[in-house]
Structures are given as structure tokens and as C-alpha cells.
Structure 1
Amino acid sequence: MTPDTKESVFSASPKLDPRLRALRAAATQGRDPATEDETLNLLLAVARAAAPSRILEVGTAEGLTSVALLQECAGARLTTVEMEEERWLRAKENFSAFGVADRVNAILGDAADVLPSLEGQFELIFLDGPKAQYIHYLPVLKRLLPPRGVLFADDVLLYGWVDGRVPVPQKRRSIVLRIREYLNAVSADADFITSILRVGEGVALSVKR
């Protein structure tokens, strides 16, 4: 890879609706930062390749990634789970504004309680909720994936703490240990093919056999 090629790769931005791009830029300055550009680019590429009819998202925030996924995957339906009511309400407003509300099942609740109650399967699962809970969600997420389904877990390297590039602050050691448990479990599971990528804050991309 030449320096020029490397620069073009790392500066690549997702091709989004201008209104969505503006909202993402505003979110970056707020309390609910949007998914990083290079992470969203990868997620949308995976979504296009997987061509899911049903998508599950854990961690809605303002619903901007949800909208991007639905714009990329024509005809897909999305179930998304958010535990903070303020975020959930903002997301519902965005779903209506972008004309995708009829394709979204937006659930207000704790994913630990909601996920076991879901029925059917989802060809693509975007995991972006509480990081310490990833390991606890894994068994039910595995059940919700069909063969060849994709589990896309975001923020799994978390500022370089998880892979040891950056020293872990004392108060963050517990969450780092939980993320490492998740990575070890999903990597060791013979029912998954998993790659851990240094994209954004780290992505664990797992395909169910």
C-alpha cells in the first residue's frame, strides 16, 4: 500500500443523504456521537453484501446509523433497541423525518430483557450498546442469527485499551475485561468465523457458519 493509497483509504467517507450527513456532523459535537465514518463505511459495505431482509441493532442512539442502513438496504426491516427514553424519542423523530418509520420496530428497553423475547432471525446484527454487556448478549444473538448471518460488534478495541496499545485507566479495567471476554468467546466459537479489525474504535466482524 502506497502512502497515497493509505491516505485515500483512511479518508474515505460514506456516501450519505446530505440531510443525514448534516445530522451526523451535529451528533459528533453532542452527547451521542455518531458511528465513525470508516466504521459506518464498513458496516454499509457489509450490509450491501449481506442483503438482509431483517436487521437488528442494539443501541439506537439518535437512529442515524439505523437510517443509513435502511437507505442502503432497500426493502429491509430493522428492529432497534434503546434503553434511554430521550435517545429513543429523538430516534423516532428521525425515522419519521427520513420516511423509514414504517420499516422500523423501535423498542424502548434494556437489551438484556428485550433480546430474549425477540422471535425469528436477523441476517445482520449491529451491536453498539453497553460494551460490558456484549459477552452477556452473545448467546441470544447467536440464536437470532441464521447461517451466514453477520454479527458486527463496534467499539471492541475502545481507545486502544483492549488490545494493550494504550494503558487502561483503573476505573475502566472492568469494561475492558468484559470486552476481552467477548472477543475471546466469539473468536473461539467454532460456529463463527471472526475477524477483529482496527477500524474506528475496533470492529469484531463475525459470520455464523
Structure 2
Amino acid sequence: MHFISEELDDYAVAHSEKEPPLLKELTRETYQKVVQPRMLSGHYQGRILSMISKLVNPKVILEIGTYTGYSALCLAEGLQHDGILHTIDVNEELVDFQKKYFDASEYSENIKQHLGPALDIIPSLEEQFDLVFIDADKPNYPAYFDLIVDRIKPGGILLSDNVLWSGKVIEELNPKDVSTRALLEYNKLLAEDSRLETVLLTIRDGLTISRKKIPS
């Protein structure tokens, strides 16, 4: 989803950091072999995720929704040398695909794959998180938020993808559209939670940056 003209979007991409060769290869294979390749973060958003991670310089990252591993590799670029990125997905068919690219990267020792429902896996993780990226099934966004908000370190960052949902968040709600309903609830949670500072960016399909406030 693009909210600016294709020409302006192309200009922004052309004047941003280049896509690393391994991620170009991952993109190409995703489009060749995987259903719904548009779910990929892609060059421009991937560079944004990389930049945010580098600014945060996290020790521990949690990613909810791995898909083919593109966003995980972007986020890993900002990890501390001995940091860890936990990435969770329910699609068993993509595990080997993800691992192929994780192993080919310089972050193979830093990325830990988890297979199964995130609502079950997150409670089993012991760490607190410096950076969290949510890009999974939309109906569970509010539930994911409830699980992770108290485990984000003060000053830590929560990134939430697809929060504009192709513009459906400002359209009349279809009573059967559970994804849009959940995103409306989720966006309200982020905007109103006193523990967070939140900015919703009109990047691609909507990307929210929320910062956990540091107690005074």
C-alpha cells in the first residue's frame, strides 16, 4: 500500500541506503517461491527498520511474525555484538527458508527462531526487550500488546506494522472484518496508553513507533 505517488515513492527509495545483496536475493526467492510475497517488508521499509534498530542498538529484540526473514535480518543489523533476536512464526513451511538466509548472514548466531503461536511462546522467553516488532496476524495485535508492554525496557521501542491496513481504518467498518476491528482497538491502545509515546507514520501500510517512557 502506497499513500504517495509511485514517482515520489521511487524517488525516496532511490535516495535511501541501498538494499544489501543478501536481502535482494531473499526478496527474489520469496517472489519466486512463497505465497503472498507482498507481505515482505521490502527495501525501503527494511532500511527504516535497520536504521531504527541501529539507533536503539538493542541487546534483545523480539519479532512477532517472521515470514521469510527479511525484517529479522534488517533488525539484526542494529544488534549489539552479543545480542539476541527472537523471531516467532506459526508457518512450519517457512522455517527452512528463513534459516537458509539467517545462516548465510553475519547474524546466524544472534537470531533464534521460534515455531508456534506467539501467545504461547512469548511467556516462555525470560528476557526483557529493547526493541519489539509486531507484524503478524492482525486480530491478535491487542493480545500481543498486553503480553509485551510490561516487558519492554524503559526507553525501549515498539514497532507495529500494517496499522493503516490499506486505509480500512478510516472506512466504515464491516462487522465481519475482525482484522480492521482489532487494528482500530490496537491503534487506540497505543495512542492512549500513558506508558508510551507514539507516532503513527504513513510509511507503506502504516508503521507506528512507540517509545516506552522512562519513569521520572
Aligned: 1:141 with 2:148? yes
Alignment of 1:67-82 (within 5 A): 67-75=73-81, 76-82=83-89
- SS, match of residue 208 in structure 2: strand
Matches within 5 A, 1:23-38: 23-28=26-31, 30-33=34-37, 34-38=40-44
- 1:121 corresponds in structure 2 to 128
Q: Hey, what's the Cα distance between the residues in 2 that align with 1:59 and 1:5?
A: 29
Q: Write the distance in 2 (CA, Å) between the matches of 1:45 and 1:187.
A: 23
Contact 2:53/2:76 (CA < 8 Å) preserved in 1?
no
Extract unaligned runs of 5+ from structure 2: none
2:62 corresponds to which residue? 56
1:17 equivalent to 2:20? Answer yes
After superposition, the CA RMSD in angstroms is 2.4
Q: Structure 1 pair 108/11, CA: closer, same or farther in 2 (3 Å)?
A: same
CA distance in 2, matches of 1:12, 1:27: 25
Q: How many correspondences in the alignment?
A: 204
2:116 to 95, 109, 118: 109
What letter is aligned with 1:27? T
1:83 to 62, 87, 90: 90
TM-score normalised by length of structure 1: 0.87
SS of equivalent to 1:67: helix
For 1:87 and 1:168, the matched residues in 2 are separated by 33
What is the TM-score normalised by the length of structure 2? Answer: 0.84
Amino acid at match of 1:94: Y
Alpha-carbon contact 1:14-1:40 (below 8 Å) kept:
no
Post-superposition offset of 1:190:
0.2
Percent identical pairs in the alignment equals 27
